[in-house]
Structure 1
């Protein structure tokens, strides 16, 4: 009689070993995965080993005390994570679909500029359509925001990204031009054509160097071998605009932060010939289970809500 292929004890319940595998992959530790699953460490180890035996591939390699995915493990993780999270979230999804969007919370991470200039019409539209949903905006930037995404402390993030990590998905929906700002009457305010070299004699006011804007400005100047000086590092577009208006320096900002209220105190010149536009959009963890509230918010994030019609809008360089 022909021998059948081996069958392991867990095949009747694939969810358990896959859940154990996903937790070890996410946390990098058998012990932490066991704590998250309320299981013993040997139980988690056996489930992962049985999965490796059945698939015939090593799924982890141990580097020091940390478990890291092999190439084969990464493939399985990308396939298994949405399945595990979808099944784990089935009860909540069912309840949410029954009661609609009349309750619940939505947590969104965003930087100060996004909250100030980009999100107000979006938040207003969401509140009008879903007044019973408690919307929580987490004011964070850079790695802090990505950390909240990866730990599931927020449902999604809205902002700008240049380098997108492999575990995140970024959907840009609107771009804004780079703009030189200076006080009215500054030598660059009325200059017919602005070259990058024209900025060299004047000190720049920039965000802290750990942020993307500083790194992007530095990269462009370095690539073109144009010298520049930084007069002041300070956080927040509103603060930068105020210091520029006071005559303490010039700055390179994204047009998203320029409004009609700035017209009398700042001159703005478009620098798209030298600096790339900055896109803004939605950032999500790949494979993340999105609640109906989160999906409703994402559906609202579209270019129409982000369009701004003022004298500083992209494409304009008037004073």
Structure 2
């Protein structure tokens, strides 16, 4: 049947617009039609047909192949930002409705965080959350930064709490607190009592640092090279508690984030700010863009700032203004 002049094409799939939009969002998120088909329990040709129909209906190209991976065109990115929260909102409607009806009396909450965040930042938050919502099953996933991002992208966790320097385009990061970089030494170390501390003053002493693959090591290396100051690494070891113990034993000095320093540490270590040379580190909440947060997740994030205000054992500068 011929179309009347000025009429708009109509496609049968419009009766269920959610299906092609869901196929599009999964393909955009996973970068592959085959992986999207697996996630949707559909055949690859079925997903391809839905994507083609969506492009015909909108009259624009939404996806393009870059090597073996599918990427979004400019128009595709715009549609993705519009469609993703709608698709996820509808997909999560049943769960959201049950949560609204039953409140926070039950359910699961999955949170990703690194060791330092779990050890120094989250205890009071977890304590407050469990006191208010004892029926919620809270799971903390102890992962490094890259591991936490993978869990976020695969929806294995609801949110992540930690520090980020570079924020990927598909994630949202809300920094809450900022902590200064600190030099720690034994209390009787020459640098502990030096009136003015320059970066070059650290050169004669071996540094105890986390492994090279971690952000702290890479940041230390960058700052020393930018200032053309030589440095030596006496020891690489994971975990702030181990590093502090080795510094207290006189095995070297270290550059740490103030989040890990407590009143007990100040009795055995000298700590001096290096904010003149090193950037402060922020800690906050990371979520996937367009992610529908459950009431449990929202309740957890709302506790973060009040709980942090109760901390008095850090060299921080208060809530982040970034």
Q: TM-score normalized by structure 2?
A: 0.94
The correspondence for 2:176, drawn from 139, 153, 173, is: 173
The CA distance in 2 between the partners of 1:306 and 1:210, in whole Å, is 32
The CA distance in 1 between the partners of 2:254 and 2:68, in whole Å, is 47
1:157 matches 2:160: yes
1:52-71 equivalences in 2 (<5 Å):
52-71=55-74
1:134-283 equivalences in 2 (<5 Å):
134-283=137-286
The CA distance in 2 between the partners of 1:9 and 1:309, in whole Å, is 62
Distance change in 2, residues 1:306/1:239 (3 Å) = farther
The CA distance in 2 between the partners of 1:126 and 1:303, in whole Å, is 12
What's the counterpart of residue 78 of structure 2?
A: 75
The CA distance in 1 between the partners of 2:23 and 2:218, in whole Å, is 40
RMSD: 1.4
Q: Which moved more, 1:256-265 or 1:122-131?
A: 256-265
Encode CA deviations 1:128-159: one digit per residue, 9 max, x unaligned.
11010011000011211111111111100000
Distance change in 2, residues 1:235/1:154 (3 Å) = same
SS state at 1:188 partner: helix
Check conservation: 2:125, 2:307, Cα contact below 8 A: no
What's the counterpart of residue 108 of structure 1?
A: 111
Check conservation: 1:82, 1:289, Cα contact below 8 A: yes
Check conservation: 2:124, 2:307, Cα contact below 8 A: no
User: Number of aligned pairs?
Assistant: 314
What's the counterpart of residue 34 of structure 1?
A: 37
Distance change in 2, residues 1:307/1:250 (3 Å) = farther
State the 4+ residue runs in structure 1 displaced beyond 6 angstroms.
none
The CA distance in 2 between the partners of 1:290 and 1:137, in whole Å, is 17
SS state at 2:268 partner: coil
SS state at 1:158 partner: strand
What's the counterpart of residue 314 of structure 1?
A: 316
The CA distance in 2 between the partners of 1:78 and 1:168, in whole Å, is 12
Check conservation: 1:118, 1:306, Cα contact below 8 A: no
1:90-129 equivalences in 2 (<5 Å):
90-129=93-132
The CA distance in 2 between the partners of 1:263 and 1:129, in whole Å, is 33
Encode CA deviations 1:95-145: one digit per residue, 9 max, x unaligned.
111000000110101111111110011011101110100110000112111
The CA distance in 2 between the partners of 1:248 and 1:211, in whole Å, is 21
Q: TM-score normalized by structure 1?
A: 0.95
Distance change in 2, residues 1:303/1:264 (3 Å) = same
The CA distance in 1 between the partners of 2:285 and 2:228, in whole Å, is 34
Shift of 1:23: 1.3
Any unmatched runs of 5+ in structure 2? 318-322
